[in-house]
Amino acid sequence: MGPHWKPSRTARKIAQTQTRLDRQSHERREKALARRRDRFCRFPLCGCRRLGLATEVSHQVHKSQGGNPAGDRSRANGLILLCRHRHQDGAVSRHAGTLRAVALTPEGMNGPIAWEVDASAVYPKLKPFETGWFEIAREEGGPQHWLLFTAEQRAALELLAEMRA
């Protein structure tokens, strides 16, 4: 056996860079698919379209929650389009941990979803034992086709539609 061949440092760096660029272009393609699918914020009765807020693609599983940055977390069935308020900035948002989308079929975010909200974020005067997650809306067929809401769900959605911080 002859000596082992080891790629040069430059060759290793080029390979690492190419892998990173491939992963980024894959994520860009998947985000474009999610944007075409959703077109605007998927949160029901959201006031973002009326206010002209920009939308962002939100990962269903973030890196901090064990999502693999190599690509499995960046498939269109794990991405959803939200306005910045519902994604990051609002008191009821994905990043605040008070809003979550639950896939109702194995298709993930490509199929119907249900929205759940932390009750303490919507109704801050609740006692700790009264808090918990409750379903606020559910899609019926595809994006933006919502089932009829109960009076409580509609009241909570209207409160959230005010886009308060």
The residue ranges of every structural domain in the chain are: 9-161
- Those residues with Cβ within 8 angstroms of residue 161's Cβ, 6 or more apart along the chain or in another chain: 45, 46, 47
Q: What is the pLDDT of residues 115-160, one digit of tens each?
A: 898 887 777 776 655 668 888 888 876 666 777 678 878 888 877 7
Going along the chain, which residue ranges are E strands?
55-59, 79-83, 99-103, 113-118, 133-138
Q: Out of 19-23, 102-106, 133-137, pick the least confident.
A: 19-23
Amino acid 110: pLDDT? 86
Q: What angle do CA 111, 114, 120 make, to 5 degrees?
A: 155
Q: What angle do CA 129, 62, 88 make, to 5 degrees?
A: 70
Amino acid 82: pLDDT? 92
Amino acid 40: pLDDT? 86
